[in-house]
Structure formats: C-alpha cells, structure tokens
Amino acid sequence: MQTKKMKVLYSSKSRSGSYIGSSTYITTPKISMEGKWLDSLGFHIGDAIEVSYEENCIRISPVPQQPAMVCEAPPKYKTSKHKKEQ
C-alpha cells in the first residue's frame, strides 16, 4: 500500500446575521484529492464512491456498478383461433 501526505484544509460558509450587513463565517474541515493517481486506482470521473469512517480512519471505495437493467420483450399474445364460420 502506498501513502500520500496531505493537509486537512478548511471551507468557510457565510451565515447571515440578524441585521443588514452582518454575517458570520463558519469554517469546517475539508479534504480534497485530485490527480491521475486516482484514475489509476479505479476512481474515474463521474463514478460513485462509498466513504466509510470511524475514529481517526477514513476509507474511500468505488461503488460497484450495477448492471444495466434490460427489459425483456413482453410475451407475444396468442391470436384467437376462434373465427366465425360463414
């Protein structure tokens, strides 16, 4: 298993105050990853991922793709053999 050193960054959001011009900023931790190494590990643009976590540990895994649903053709209806005789 290889490792990469990264930093936990922050993201800030503005929360409006009770009067005009008043706003408060809230910061939250953010982890951002990018690079060709993700692609080589099986993480492709648009793929779904699953994030599992516990104290001091985060695990990111690709979600297995579900097979495309293929609809079966509806059963053919039997034509009636009863014809009016003339």
**Numbers of helices and strands, H then E, in the chain:** 1, 4
Greater confidence, 73 or 6?
A: 6
Residue extents of the structural domains in the chain: 13-62
**Percentage of the chain modeled with pLDDT above 70:** 79
Q: What is the pLDDT of residues 58-68, one digit of tens each?
A: 999 999 877 76
Whether the CB-CB separation of 17 and 23 falls below 8 Å is answered with yes
Averaged pLDDT, 11-22: 75
For residue 18, the model assigns a pLDDT of: 63
